[in-house]
């Protein structure tokens, strides 16, 4: 089960569920990256926010995770510096999970979004009790739209996102389409043992 994922390690990243201690770094990363987030993330319009608001947000993610409703993860580089956010989301209907990502501006162009998307895809397909993963991005975001193609997702068409007020490109990968990628073969998923 996804809610039992305690951490994911990739060649360059450490990905884990958020804790309240991440609030200040989440706020700092968003504030530093605001100009690159505003064109694509509607929630960025409400930024910057104070640490208390980030603590409330993280508490909502922790609650959603415990109920099995949504799964949001913090991304760190190997020096344990907060590098962005990703997740596995149930909002695309039964039998599927959606993943997405944003990366802190100082870590752009290092391949972190691709690496995080690979980790989420692998975790979702192995532990999500689903048949397919969905990845969506703004049709104008050329950099982001390269990521699902690179990972082997199939383009399935466009749709209008009311939340984003923009056209989105939609990509899909089924369980049988997932292929281990040599550059990410050291990706490991660790689970909490809830057998007690």
pLDDT in tens, 40-49: 999 999 999 9
- What pLDDT shows up at residue 8? 98
Q: Is 70 exposed, middle or buried (0-12, 13-18, 19+ CB in 10 A)?
A: middle
3-class SS of residue 172: strand
The pTM assigned to this predicted structure is: 0.95
Q: How far apart, in whole angstroms, are the C-alpha atoms of residue 6 and residue 2?
A: 9
For 2-130, CATH number?
A: 3.40.630.30
Domain edges within the chain: 2-130
**Positive/negative CA dihedral, 54, 2, 94, 175:** positive
Asked if pLDDT for residue 195 goes beyond 60, the answer is no
């Amino acid at each position: 089960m996804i809610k039992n994922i305690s951490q994911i390690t990739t060649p360059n990243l450490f990905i884990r569920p958020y804790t309240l201690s991440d609030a200040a770094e989440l706020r700092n990363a968003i504030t530093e990256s605001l100009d690159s987030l505003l064109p694509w993330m509607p929630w960025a319009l409400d930024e910057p926010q104070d640490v208390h608001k980030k603590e409330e947000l993280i508490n909502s993610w922790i609650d959603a995770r415990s109920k099995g409703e949504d799964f949001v993860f913090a991304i760190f580089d190997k020096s344990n510096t907060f590098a962005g956010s990703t997740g596995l989301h149930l909002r695309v209907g039964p039998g599927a999970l959606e993943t997405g990502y944003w990366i802190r501006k100082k870590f752009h162009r290092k391949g972190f979004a691709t690496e995080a998307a690979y980790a989420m895809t692998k975790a979702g397909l192995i532990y999500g009790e689903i048949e397919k993963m969905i990845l969506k991005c703004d049709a104008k975001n050329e950099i982001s739209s390269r990521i699902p193609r690179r990972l082997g997702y199939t383009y399935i068409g466009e749709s209008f996102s009311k939340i984003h007020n923009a056209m989105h490109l939609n990509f899909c990968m089924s369980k049988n389409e997932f292929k281990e990628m040599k550059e990410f073969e050291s990706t490991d998923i660790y689970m909490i043992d809830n057998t007690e």
